[in-house]
């Protein structure tokens, strides 16, 4: 074997070995329970409330599964998910696809206040230039003030740079709805389009929900 051949063989072995080593390191990191703790810590450092993850599994260095995800104001999980599947570069920290299954949100007065604080904190933490390409899906349900159940919820969308487009289907208080959302941050400001294809709303549960979420009297 010539010296050039040995060098080439060494390069190939290194290139093949690096992903395997990265996968082993990721498996060790997850197995030690440190990833769940790191996720909770990173969330607490940047956003209001508390995040807990019951279990994390990794599939190589390109996919991770987060089970029993719970997030909300301190001591109250307003949003839960049975499983979150993350695709992308686990080593580089870049996410290309996100799938959320078994999603459930409880919207009450405390949740409304927390969501407002979360939105402000998230905007401040991303800042300018937080552009990324991401595909996402979400399936589950939302309980709006224990008056307007949003069932069979399914959202499919994509983020390209500073533009987010999504399609939402669900049943709201027993009636089917379908919305298309197009949101984009431009130099001139925010451009947002909401295309409502089907959204019958019953007034009685709507006013009941509003009275419970605000200071309005029913």
Angstrom distance (rounded) from CA 104 to CA 10: 51
| pTM of the full structure | 0.73
Instruction: Tell me whether residue 134 is in a domain.
Output: no
Residue 90 sits at the vertex; the CA angle it makes with 88 and 96, to the nearest 5 degrees, is 15
Instruction: Tell me whether residue 71 is in a domain.
Output: yes
Residues 62 and 167 in one domain: no
Question: Helix 203-213 to helix 109-126 angle, to the nearest 10 degrees?
Answer: 70
Residues 6 and 94 in one domain: yes
- The fraction of the chain above a pLDDT of 90, given in percent, is 16
Examine the pLDDT at 132 and tell me if it is beyond 80. Answer: no
- The pLDDT tens digits of the residues spanning 22-63 come to 444 444 444 445 566 777 777 777 777 888 888 888 887 788
Instruction: Tell me whether residue 55 is in a domain.
Output: yes
Q: How far, in Å, are 59, 119, 156 from residue 25 at the CA level?
A: 12, 34, 33
Mean pLDDT is lowest, of 87-91, 122-126, 148-152, 162-166, for 122-126
Residues 123 and 18 in one domain: yes
Which structural domain, as residue segments, surrounds residue 212?
Answer: 152-218
Residues 6+ apart with CB under 8 A from 158: 133, 134, 135, 136, 164, 165, 166
- Write down the pLDDT at residue 174: 82
Instruction: Tell me whether residue 141 is in a domain.
Output: no
What are 60-63's contacts with CB under 8 Å, separation 24+? 60/19, 60/23, 60/26, 61/19, 61/22, 61/23, 61/26, 61/89, 61/90, 61/91, 62/87, 62/88, 62/89, 62/90, 63/87, 63/90
Residues 49 and 116 in one domain: yes
β-pairing verdict for 148-161 and 132-144: antiparallel
Q: Which helix (H) or strand (E) holds 181?
A: strand 175-186
Residues 158 and 79 in one domain: no
Pair 190, 178: CB distance under 8 Å:
no
Examine the pLDDT at 100 and tell me if it is beyond 70. Answer: yes
How many domains is the chain partitioned into structurally? Answer: 2
Residue 135, burial from CB neighbour count under 10 angstroms (0-12, 13-18, 19+): middle
Residues 115 and 156 in one domain: no
Residues 99 and 48 in one domain: yes
Instruction: Tell me whether residue 146 is in a domain.
Output: no
Instruction: Tell me whether residue 145 is in a domain.
Output: no
Residues 4 and 78 in one domain: yes
Nearest residue to 77 via CA among 46, 45, 43? 43
């Amino acid at each position: 074997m010539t010296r050039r051949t040995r060098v080439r063989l060494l390069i190939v072995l290194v290139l093949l070995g690096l992903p395997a080593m990265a996968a082993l390191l990721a498996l060790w990191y997850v197995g030690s329970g440190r990833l769940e703790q790191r996720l909770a810590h990173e969330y607490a450092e940047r956003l209001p409330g508390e995040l807990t993850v019951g279990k994390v599994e990794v599939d190589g260095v390109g996919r991770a599964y987060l089970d029993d995800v719970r997030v909300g104001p301190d001591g109250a999980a307003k949003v839960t998910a049975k499983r979150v599947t993350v695709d992308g570069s686990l080593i580089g920290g870049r996410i290309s696809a996100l799938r959320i299954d078994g999603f459930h949100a409880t919207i009450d007065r405390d949740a409304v206040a927390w969501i407002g604080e979360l939105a402000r904190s998230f905007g401040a933490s991303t800042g300018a230039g937080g552009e990324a390409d991401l595909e996402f899906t979400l399936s589950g349900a939302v309980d709006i003030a224990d008056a307007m159940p949003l069932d069979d919820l399914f959202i499919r969308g994509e983020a390209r740079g500073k533009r987010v487009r999504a399609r939402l289907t669900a049943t709201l208080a027993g009636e089917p709805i379908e919305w298309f959302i197009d949101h984009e941050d431009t130099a001139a400001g925010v451009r947002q389009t909401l295309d409502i294809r089907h959204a019958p709303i019953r007034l009685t549960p709507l006013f009941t929900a509003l009275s419970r979420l605000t200071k309005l009297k029913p």
